[in-house]
């Protein structure tokens, strides 16, 4: 076995998805260099990340240290957030217009009106507080699910959870490329009056500000619609939450009741809190199904390729 073949064998399916996606981002950046500020910096960082994935997978495979293995397991947590920001830079550079009009038209075709406008009549501070808290649990749900099975030492399930979550996020990022949009809080409502029209009780404004900052529009940002991330379709919150709910049930998570209740509130919150159109939720469901079908095939294909255990529900 050559050195390169040995490096490939040490990769797990999650590493393969990360490497594939970052090679795609690097290639896309190279093709679009004249349009992208600091494009060479992005390419350099991507290549460093690619080298790091090969290095950490090799280090974890050839070391008895739990530290290296845990880094190999969990490097994807900050990576998901960093990738989200890189996608933002690329979409801003490559797209000159948004497609909210198509999503608004889809909602009006389905409902004869705008769901966020309709739901406003039911708004009250208690409901808003509950839903904003639920919405704020989004990034924690897959982490909680993964840690549960890691602590149980059910490693086959743990690896499949990590792989599926990473694949799901990356697929949603591809959706943002195809149909960038800013969402109803900007197009159908006045973003600046959100706290007035949808007040909560204690945590709503604080949590809303965290979300806004993550979307590149911290408090005081002038003309936020110009710089907010174009991450509406599909609804990644819907897609990833449905994935977590599905896996929690299929894998018999001890916390599946929590995931089902919190997940249902979170998905409803995406529209009630004006982050998404209903069409985005449909997109999230479709992308979730694609993730689960494609994910199981890719995972088992790579495992079979190197005679490693496959995964079955």
> Do 191 and 290 sit in the same domain of this protein?
yes
- Give the model's confidence band at 34: pLDDT under 50 very low, under 70 low, under 90 confident, else very high: confident
- Do 232 and 298 fall into the same domain? yes
Instruction: Give me the sign of the Cα torsion angle 9, 161, 177, 140.
Output: negative
Statement: residue 289 has pLDDT above 90? yes
Closest CA to 133 of 239, 232, 272, 230: 272
SS3 for 234?
A: coil
111 and 77 assigned to the same domain: no
Backbone angles phi, psi at 293, to 5 degrees: -70, -50
- pLDDT exceeds cutoff 70 at 1: no
- Domain identity same for 104 and 75: no
Pair (69, 104) in one structural domain: no
* Domain match, 101 and 79 both: no
For 241-267, the pLDDT digits (tens) are: 999 999 999 999 999 999 999 999 999
Confidence band of 38 (pLDDT split at 50, 70, 90)? confident
- Identify the residue with better confidence: 227 or 311: 227
Q: Verify that 109 and 79 share a domain, yes or no.
A: no
- Could you tell me the two tokens for 277? 């159109």
pLDDT category at 140 given cuts 50, 70, 90 is very high
Say whether both 150 and 209 belong to one domain: yes
Question: pLDDT-derived band of residue 109, with 50, 70 and 90 as boundaries?
Answer: very high
The per-residue pLDDT for 56 is 96
* The domain boundary residue, chosen from 75, 94, 113: 94
Q: For helices 39-61 and 3-10, what crossing angle results, to 10°?
A: 90
Clarify whether residues 150 and 7 are in a common domain.
Answer: no
The mean of the pLDDT values for the chain is 94
- When pLDDT is averaged across residues 71-84 and rounded to a whole number, the result is 95
Q: Is the pLDDT confidence value at 7 over 80?
A: no
Residues of the chain above pLDDT 70, percent: 99
Confidence of residue 130 (pLDDT cuts 50, 70, 90): very high
Same domain, 105 and 84: no
Mean pLDDT of all residues in 70-89: 94
* Same domain, yes or no: 160 and 257: yes
Could you say which of 94, 119, 147 is where a domain stops?
A: 94
Calculate mean pLDDT across residues 259-288. 98
- Of 29-38, 110-119, 217-226, 255-264, the poorest mean pLDDT is in 29-38
Of 67, 94, 121, which residue constitutes the final position of a domain? 94
The DSSP symbol for 219 reads T
Using pLDDT thresholds of 50, 70 and 90, give the confidence band for residue 131. very high
Are 227 and 177 in the same domain? yes
* Residue with the larger pLDDT of the pair 36 and 258: 258
- Provide the residue range defining the domain that includes 259: 96-313
Q: Which of 148, 37, 152, 34 is nearest to 86 (CA)?
A: 37
Residue 234, preceding bond cis, omega within 30 degrees? Answer: yes
Total domains present in the chain = 2
pLDDT greater than 80 at residue 235: yes
């Amino acid at each position: 076995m050559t050195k390169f073949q040995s490096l490939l064998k040490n990769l797990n399916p999650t590493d393969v998805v990360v490497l594939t996606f970052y090679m795609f981002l690097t290639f896309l950046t190279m093709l679009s260099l004249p349009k992208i500020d600091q494009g060479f910096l992005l390419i350099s960082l991507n290549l460093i990340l690619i080298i790091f994935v090969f290095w950490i997978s090799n280090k974890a495979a050839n070391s008895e240290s739990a530290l290296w293995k845990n880094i190999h397991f969990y490097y994807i947590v900050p990576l998901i957030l960093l990738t989200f920001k890189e996608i933002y830079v690329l979409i801003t550079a490559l797209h000159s217009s948004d497609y909210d009009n198509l999503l608004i038209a889809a909602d009006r075709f389905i409902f004869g009106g705008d769901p966020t406008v309709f739901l406003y009549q039911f708004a009250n501070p208690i409901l808003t507080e509950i839903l904003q808290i639920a919405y704020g649990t989004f990034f924690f749900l897959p982490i909680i699910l993964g840690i549960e099975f890691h602590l149980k030492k059910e490693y086959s399930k743990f690896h499949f959870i990590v792989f599926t979550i990473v694949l799901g996020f990356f697929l949603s990022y591809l959706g943002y490329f195809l149909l960038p949009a800013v969402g109803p809080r900007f197009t159908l409502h006045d973003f600046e009056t959100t706290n007035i029209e949808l007040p909560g009780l204690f945590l709503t404004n604080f949590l809303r500000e965290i979300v806004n900052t993550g979307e590149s529009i911290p408090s005081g940002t002038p003309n936020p619609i110009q710089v907010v991330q174009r991450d509406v379709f599909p609804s990644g919150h819907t897609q990833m939450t449905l994935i977590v709910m599905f896996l929690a049930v299929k894998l018999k998570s001890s916390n599946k009741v929590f995931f089902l209740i919190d997940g249902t509130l979170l998905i409803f919150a995406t529209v009630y809190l004006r982050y998404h159109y209903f069409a985005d939720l449909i997109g999230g469901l479709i992308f979730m199904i694609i993730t689960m079908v494609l994910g199981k095939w890719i995972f088992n294909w790579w495992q079979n390729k190197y005679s490693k255990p496959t995964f079955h529900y």
